[in-house]
Amino acid sequence: MDKTKPVRNLIDAWTRLDLESLLAQLTEDAVFENIPMEPIVGKPAIRQALQAFIAHCAASPWKLKNIAVTAAGTVLTERDDIFDLKDGRRVHCPVMGAFEVNDQGRITHWRDYFDLADWNRMMHLDPDFARRGPPV
């Protein structure tokens, strides 16, 4: 089984702002972590968080730079996550991702690592954002 397929599908869904296709790549009890923020557990909670963010996006042309599968089966990505916000801002976020994919081809755990201070500067957010998390 090609464990990169659901990850590529998830990235493609982001580029189309297609939340349903994105969620279809996840198990019901999936965990999504934007390190260093608190994990989001379960598809309903992930839906709520992503839906709130997608509502601010006009486009999201993510660019996959590299993808690899470890010997243990974890899919690793190097990406440029780009968000064109409805208020005219473009936010560019270099990201390293780690995806655990089960034998049914669904993502069980999604971890993204990025520079939160850079994100806050681009989003014009205050430094306490890391403790509070994104507005929902």
Kindly give, in sequence order, each residue whose CB lies less than 8 Å from that of residue 34, ignoring residues fewer than 6 positions away. 112, 114
In this prediction, residue 126 carries a pLDDT of: 45
> What pLDDT, in 10s, does the model give residues 43-85?
999 999 999 889 999 999 999 999 999 999 999 999 999 999 8
Least confident of 37-41, 44-48, 63-67, 119-123: 119-123
Q: With respect to residue 15, please indicate whether it lies within any of the assigned structural domains.
A: yes
How many angstroms separate the CA atoms of 89 and 53, rounded?
14
**What's the CATH code of the domain at 22?**
3.10.450.50
Peptide bond into 94 cis (omega under 30): no
In this prediction, residue 135 carries a pLDDT of: 45
Q: With respect to residue 134, please indicate whether it lies within any of the assigned structural domains.
A: no
CB half-sphere exposure, 108, CA atoms < 13 A? 9
Q: With respect to residue 18, please indicate whether it lies within any of the assigned structural domains.
A: yes
- Write down the pTM of the prediction: 0.86
Domains held by the chain: number: 1
> What pLDDT, in 10s, does the model give residues 79-103?
999 999 898 888 888 999 999 999 9
Expressed as residue numbers, the domain containing 49 is 4-123
